[in-house]
Amino acid sequence: MYKSIEYSQRTHGCGLLNDDNVGDKVKLSGWVNRRRDHGGLIFIDLRDRNGLVQIVINPEEEKIFKVAERVRDEYVLSVEGEVSLRPEGTVNPKLSTGKVEVIAKKISILSAAKTPPFEIVDSLNVDESLRLKYRYLDLRRKEMLSNLKLRHNVTTTVRNFLNSYGFMEVETPYLTKSTPEGARDYLVPSRVQPGHFYALPQSPQLFKQILMVAGIERYYQIARCFRDEDLRADRQPEHTQIDMEMSFITQDDIISLMEEMVKMVFESLDMKLEVPFQRLTYDESMKRYGSDKPDLRFEMELVDISNLAANCGFKVFENVINSNGVVKGINALGCGDYSRGQLDELTKLASVYGAKGLAWMQIIEDGKVKSPIAKFFSEETRNSITDAFKAKPGDLLLFVADEKKIVCEALGQLRLYLAKKLGLIDESKYKFLWVMDFPMFEYDKEEKRYKAQHHPFTSPSKETVSFLDSEPLSVKTQAYDLVLNGVEVGGGSIRIHDRELQRKIFNLLGLSSEEVDEKFGFLIEAFKYGVPPHGGIAIGLDRLVMLLAGKDTIRDVIAFPKTQTATCLLTGAPDKVSDKQLRELNIRLK
């Protein structure tokens, strides 16, 4: 619903007409959704952004009848006529305008249309590449239109919410400086500075922190972020963040503010949401769900049986424990009748995530199991294991033994796979969760150095900051990820505003002071002039809207997305450029 602009081409929206309009003389403009020609009578469903209405063309109106005979699907028409109640028995309850129809008095064809390469219908089944090439036709479909409307409604609600809390929307540059670590940058060559490049921002991170130094106090931006990494269903080379930053704020303040914001988004869509959201530490999340973004719409928690495996008699388990690994498992409820083939499939899945094998135990009846590894265990150990999983006859226990990270990830993925397969997930549910207390660093085996798990400006927690020198891997951060239904939809942190601490972190990351000056000097310099304690968060708009729209890919909530090979099928980008352009940029292709 929007204020009608009564201009000469249109007095009403097609889909907004109802029995209140009966008798009204209306002028409509839109596309021919469908024409039904009965020879002596023609119906046209006229579609605009508001929906459909049926136009009736009677043969007595000879002139317009002739025009209507020429009309085809997707022609653009201007129609003048009178709204009238449909005759008894011809009401269409499937249409919001189904009680009425418009008796045409005048029709003009504003634009003819080729037959589209696919039908403009709700339940469309065509290859996505065709939809992307003709995106303007795809977006005419109600489903896609409503996705864009949903996205617009979310950003509108967010803007209103943040404005009401005194946030200022500030734009930050798209042409900026390449920074080390993180994702691969998209580079833009400078013409006036030959051999120099801008980078498109992976996020407005540094600028928003500088805005805090500038005294903006509360900033937000619906910001485009660019990352030149391989694509996935939920990853595009450019994505949109609801990005914000606040001064004089604590982690809990930010969290409750976000909970209110998300709640308001849900309310604007007539959905209820319970706040506060559940919180899990990173360690607990990995331990119980094998993921730092667990889907909590179902249980099936991981169970650690390392203590039982330590001296169980099964060499594979024992060796893993002796080399500091773990043995964990999940109970695939009711999967005790899985065939060898099905078990092989699960094994294959586990191997994708690095597991060298998958052990299983089918529970046949109380105290009895079928399993290739059961023979290694004493009855006592076996019972302890089945007890640990609360296994009942008909259940299937799956075990992975390896280093901790692999065990958790493999089982976490099996957990998800099984839940989907077994229908354990209530698709109508929205389960939010905060994951917190992330480790500050992870050790990069290849590069033999520490890397920041979040980013190098993340503040360590007060409780663990003292471990920086002794055990860096034990240092936790004041960072928080927002997870919805197993999808990371946001993340942020309290930033470091102490220069000494920042220098120490850079040191631990192996950045020399020269490198720091070269890459972040402007931020360090800014921090010398009075920096307020600050923190922030960014919400992934595409992912959030994707989940709200019930879609499996963010491409469905982006007007013009790119394919997995990062091309735009509509425009043909990326493309070659002329020699002249290259010369001007001082670039020679190999």
Partner RNA sequence: GGGGGCGUGGUGCAAUUGGUUAGCACACUGGCCUGUCAAGCCAGAGGUCGCGGGUUCAAGUCCCGUCGCUCCCGCCA
Residues in the site for RNA, rule: CB under 7 A? 34, 36-41, 43, 45, 54, 56, 58-60, 72-73, 86-87, 89-92, 94-95, 98, 101, 115, 117-119, 125-130, 132, 181-184, 202-203, 205, 227, 229-235, 352-353, 451-456, 553, 555, 563-565, 567, 569
- Coarse DSSP helix, strand, coil percentages of the chain, rounded to the nearest 5 percent: 30, 25, 40
Least distance in Å: CB of 367 to RNA?
A: 38
Strand partners, 25: 82
Pair type for strands 168-169 and 197-199 = unpaired
- Whether 261 and 387 have beta carbons less than 8 Å apart is answered as no
Q: Helices in 48-196 by DSSP H: which ranges?
A: 62-70, 128-133, 135-138, 142-164
Compare residues 78 and 453 and give the one whose CB is closer to RNA: 453
Query: Which residue from 243, 285, 278, 246 is spatially nearest to 259, judged by alpha carbons?
Result: 278
- CB 352 → RNA: shortest distance, Å? 5
The dihedral formed by the CA atoms of 9, 15, 18 and 22, expressed in degrees to the nearest 10: 30
Q: How many other CB atoms are there within 10 angstroms of residue 305's CB atom? A: 21
Q: Three-class SS of residue 80?
A: strand
- Closer residue to RNA in complex, CB, 250/564: 564
Pick between residue 30 and residue 336 the one whose CB is nearest to RNA: 30
In the chain, the N- to C-terminal Cα span, in Å, equals 55
Tokens representing 543 are 């992912």
What minimum distance in Å lies between the beta carbon of 251 and RNA?
18
Measured from the CB atom, the residue of 42 and 302 that comes closer to RNA is: 42
In this structure, the strands spanning 100-111 and 51-57 are parallel
Nearby residues of 166 by Cβ (< 8 Å), 6 or more positions away: 217, 218
Return the ∠ at Cα 439 (arms to 433 and 442), rounded to 5°: 125
Nearer to RNA, 125 or 339 (CB): 125
* Shortest distance, position 230 Cβ to RNA, whole Å: 3
Q: Which helix (H) or strand (E) holds 332?
A: strand 326-332
Minimum CB separation of residue 482 from RNA in Å reads: 15
CA nearest 28: which of 86, 104, 97, 100? 104
Q: What is the nearest approach in angstroms of RNA to the Cβ of residue 41? A: 4
Q: Which is nearer to RNA, 232 or 368 (CB)?
A: 232
Shortest distance in whole angstroms from residue 11 CB to RNA: 21
CB of 500 to RNA, least distance (A): 20
Provide, rounded to whole angstroms, the least separation between the CB of residue 292 and RNA.
10
Phi and psi (nearest 5°) for 180?
-75, 165
Nearer to RNA (CB atom), residue 11 or residue 58: 58
- Identity of residue 415: R
Smallest distance from RNA to CB 58, Å: 6
Nearer to RNA, 395 or 556 (CB): 556
Task: Specify the DSSP class assigned to residue 538.
Answer: E
Q: Which of 586, 497, 540, 571 is nearest to 154 (CA)?
A: 540
C-beta closer to RNA: residue 89 or 195: 89
Backbone conformation region of residue 456, classed left if phi is above 0, alpha if psi is from -120 to 50, else beta: alpha
540 close to 488: Cβ distance less than 8 angstroms: yes
Nearer to RNA, 58 or 306 (CB): 58
In the bound complex, what is the minimum distance in angstroms from residue 327's beta carbon to RNA? 21
Inter-axis angle of helices 142-164 and 251-268, to 10 degrees? 140
Cβ-based nearer residue to RNA, 165 or 443: 443
What token pair was written down for 327?
A: 């043995």
Residue 34: what residue type? R
- Dig out the tokens for 320 from the structure: 């893993």
Quick one: 19 or 337, whose CB is closer to RNA? 19
Nearest distance, CB of residue 124 and RNA, angstroms: 8
The C-alpha angle 67, 70, 72, rounded to 5 degrees, equals 120
